[in-house]
Amino acid sequence: MTAGQAQVDSRVCVGTAMCRSIAPEAFVLDDTGRASFVPGAGASLADLIEAAENCPVQAIAVDEGGPE
């Protein structure tokens, strides 16, 4: 994962769509109602972090970058 990227653990996601309401460009829900991250969608890192913080089951991991 590179900075500004996120991953959704589909085994944990319960499909609340909270992430989509915060960063609709960055997350999609599939047929089973589980979210996945859309790489390169241009969501800001702040929005990704907010989405992760508001996921009720902590299914979203965000690479915030930082010192190499």
Residues that bind ligand SF4 (CB under 6 A): 8, 13-19, 35, 55-57, 59-60
What distance in Å separates the CA atoms of residue 40 and residue 42, rounded to the nearest whole number?
5
Beta bridge partners of 62: 6
Q: Which is nearer to ligand SF4, 35 or 48 (CB)?
A: 35
Question: Pick from 43, 13, 50, 7: which is nearest to 25 by CA?
Answer: 43
What distance in Å separates the CA atoms of residue 17 and residue 59, rounded to the nearest whole number?
12
Q: Which is nearer to ligand SF4, 4 or 34 (CB)?
A: 34
Q: Which is nearer to ligand SF4, 41 or 57 (CB)?
A: 57
Q: Smallest distance, Å, CB 20 to ligand SF4? A: 7
